[in-house]
């Protein structure tokens, strides 16, 4: 019976105990007002969509995924708030940039300028970026190819880790897949020897 006893002990050691903690990453989520940041994040957290109001300052959501928890600091996208965005960049490990694929030319240009300054910001320029071209379900939505070209991502973001993905609230699986890709980039970054 001693072998069986040993096995029982071994099993108790292995199988009890809490699951290992998932790594947590601190992300900042930016984008113009109306790009859909709050709705996407609420949906990822399975929160009710009913009373979503525009984020005026910033809000933090813990978004659980199978292999990581993303602590997302979502910054309001209004003109008056955007100039303060950079105050909240400290400590970020990655960036989510949400844009409205169906917005007016003017808004798209503003979004492009904001994305460019984020990609070049000293606290963000080395971080992985997930760029979500939201509202793909709207008739006026531009394709990811158009957005990539318009935002001049290739030349600007060369050598950076960024992912540009189409998304809409009616295809949350695709949104989750995009976030999974971002988590892979975050994990890779953790494994690298830090460059001083």
Query: Looking at domain 26-45+54-92+99-105+113-142+166-171, does it have CATH number 3.40.50.10310?
Result: no
Ligand-binding annotation for 180, yes or no, is no
Ligand-binding annotation for 159, yes or no, is no
Residue with token string 């971080």:
127
Ligand-binding annotation for 76, yes or no, is no
Ligand-binding annotation for 191, yes or no, is no
Contact 99, 31 (CB under 8 A): yes
Ligand-binding annotation for 55, yes or no, is yes
Give the pLDDT score at 14.
57
pLDDT single digits (tens) 81-120: 999 999 999 999 999 999 999 999 999 999 999 999 999 9
Ligand-binding annotation for 92, yes or no, is no
The CA distance from 111 to 98, in Å, is 9
Strand, coil or helix: what is 87? helix
Ligand-binding annotation for 71, yes or no, is no
Ligand-binding annotation for 57, yes or no, is no
Ligand-binding annotation for 1, yes or no, is no
Q: What is the pTM of this model?
A: 0.87
pLDDT single digits (tens) 7-35: 555 555 555 566 678 899 999 999 999 99
């Amino acid at each position: 019976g001693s072998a069986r006893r040993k096995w029982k002990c071994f099993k108790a050691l292995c199988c009890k105990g809490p699951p290992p903690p998932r790594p947590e990453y601190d992300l900042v989520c930016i984008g113009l007002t109306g790009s859909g940041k709050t709705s996407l994040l609420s949906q990822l957290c399975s929160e009710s969509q009913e009373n979503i109001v525009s984020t005026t300052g910033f809000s933090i959501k813990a978004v659980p995924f199978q292999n990581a928890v993303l602590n997302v600091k979502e910054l309001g996208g209004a003109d008056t708030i955007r100039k303060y965005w950079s105050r909240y960049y400290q400590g970020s490990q990655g960036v989510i940039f949400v844009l409205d694929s169906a917005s007016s030319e003017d808004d798209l240009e503003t979004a492009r300028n904001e994305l460019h300054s984020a990609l070049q910001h000293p606290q963000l320029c080395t971080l992985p970026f997930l760029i979500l071209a939201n509202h793909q379900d709207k008739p006026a939505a531009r394709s990811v190819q158009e957005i990539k070209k318009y935002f001049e991502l290739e030349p600007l973001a060369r050598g950076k880790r960024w992912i540009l993905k189409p998304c809409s609230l009616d295809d949350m699986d695709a949104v989750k897949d995009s976030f999974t890709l971002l988590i892979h980039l975050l994990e890779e970054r953790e494994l690298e020897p830090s460059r001083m």
